[in-house]
Structure 1
């Protein structure tokens, strides 16, 4: 895959976004191994914009690592400053959709309640839980309490 080419303005924006990031991939004395390429690919799929730290004193070796990673993974080189490399690749639509499934909403939960005597079988039931409900340790369902507001705000509103 060829590397992505960006305009200087796009590169500048990605550099600003990457400023606060910590290195996600660390490349040691073995250099660029298939395992490192695989981890870099996984990090780009998850984050899109990553920092890579190379523990090598040879600047030319770091430059070749940057070019190799960008060519093999289809990423854009954003910056090479010292031992840090910054790579960017757009996150696919599939990865974005996977994050949406974490929203709270109705879900089916299996509730197991022990019998009172302890000698009988526990009762198992499937219950639909809404977004504002929770299951207690005893197996009962409770609603989330409303947020407490101060007396001063209650009298104003």
Structure 2
């Protein structure tokens, strides 16, 4: 579980990132979860945008993606979700201690 200080740190890192994935009318499916999981392994921190035509609530989409990828939900702001998952082989982000 991320502390408040760690979430603040990750939000500042994510500020300059562009969304990599978009969740649209089809919602979240297994293929998307696998692709997001692979991208998180490579990047650790990423933004995902929720399109206007998405039928599901943004909080539901965020929960599905976080659980499916075993990632931490850092932030939901507007229609953007920020996810973090520590990489096994490609660790780049060092989180501040509590």
Whether the 8 Å contact between 1:25 and 1:39 is mirrored in structure 2 is no
How far apart are 1:18 and its partner, in Å?
0.2
**Root-mean-square deviation (Å):** 1.8
What SS class does the counterpart of residue 28 from structure 2 fall into?
Answer: coil
Structure showing greater Rg = 1
TM-score, structure 1 as length reference: 0.54
In 2 relative to 1, CA 15–34 (structure 1 residues): closer, same or farther, beyond 3 Å? same
TM-score, structure 2 as length reference: 0.84
Higher relative contact order (CA 8 A, sep 6+): 2
Q: Which residue of 2 aligns with 1:71?
A: 67
- The runs of at least 4 consecutive aligned structure 1 residues that moved more than 4 Å come to none
Q: Which residue of 1 aligns with 2:90?
A: 95
Counterparts of 1:4-153 in structure 2, within 5 Å, are 5-56=1-52, 61-92=57-88, 94-95=89-90
Query: Which stretches in structure 2 are left out of the alignment for 5+ residues?
Result: 92-98
Deviation readout 1:81-100 (Å, 9 max, x if unpaired): 111000000111x235xxxx
**How many residue pairs were aligned?**
91
Query: Which stretches in structure 1 are left out of the alignment for 5+ residues?
Result: 97-157
Structure having the higher strand fraction is 1
In the alignment, the residues of structure 2 paired with residue 35 and residue 19 of structure 1 have an alpha-carbon distance, to the nearest angstrom, of 27
